[in-house]
Amino acid sequence: MKAQLAIFASGNGSNAQAIIDACKQGIINADVAIIITDNPNAFIIKRAVKENIECKIFKPKVFTDKLSYEKEILKLLTALNIEWIVLAGYMRLIGTVLLTAYPKKILNIHPSLLPKYKGLNAIKQAIDNNDNELGVTIHYVDEGVDTGEIIEQEKITIEDLNLPIEEIEAMVHSVEHKLYVTTLQKLIN
């Protein structure tokens, strides 16, 4: 039986697309049952439509607090029998409601070799620090910012830090797409 995944994303969704493709090809023994976004302008919505995957927009400002926001999401996830939550560029911290409901079942990807360069703009942080050892980390989500238990990491050495940041980001994304798929494959299959 295939596992049911929910992908949470706030932006472009290129990692989400890699996961969707791997599920469709049977590489990951799962179905992406729903995509959750907090951004009504996110490109991930177009990806969801193209892939015929249900997509729900949850605007945090509509809710009185984070607790009610997450309770509403949890209701939907429960109704869909979601087993795993996969964060793919989701720009919100996960709170206690979802963390309690999905212990060690919420994954995140981060563009650095954690614990280095947590939070936003990790690639720029590394470049600004003149650090040519970049990387990708997949970790379980906890209440902190990029502090959860590390599952997998892959190092990327950038020889020329003067390359345009978009080129460096593309190199990192290419590793992200492969590492997220292989990690999910190991955990779910």
pLDDT, one tens digit per residue, over 131-177 is: 999 999 999 999 999 999 999 999 999 999 999 999 999 999 999 99
C-alpha R_g of the chain? 16
| Catalytic residue flag (residue 177) | no
Contact 134, 112 (CB under 8 A): yes
List strands edge to edge, sheet with 84-87: 54-57, 30-37, 3-8, 84-87, 106-110, 133-140, 150-157
Paired sense of beta strands 84-87 and 54-57, if any: unpaired
CATH topology of domain 3-188: Rossmann fold (3.40.50)
Separation CA 120–CA 27 (nearest Å)? 30
Cα dist. 85→15, 35, 36, 94, 111 in Å? 14, 10, 10, 11, 19
Separation CA 140–CA 166 (nearest Å)? 27
CB atoms near residue 160 (< 10 Å): 8
Per-residue pLDDT, 151: 98
How many CA atoms, within 13 angstroms, populate the side-chain half-sphere of residue 106? 23
The residue from 110, 139, 173, 177 that is catalytic is 110
Q: Residues 52-109: pLDDT tens digits? A: 999 999 999 999 999 999 999 999 999 999 999 999 999 999 999 999 999 999 999 9
**pTM listed for this prediction:** 0.96
Domain boundaries, the chain: 3-188
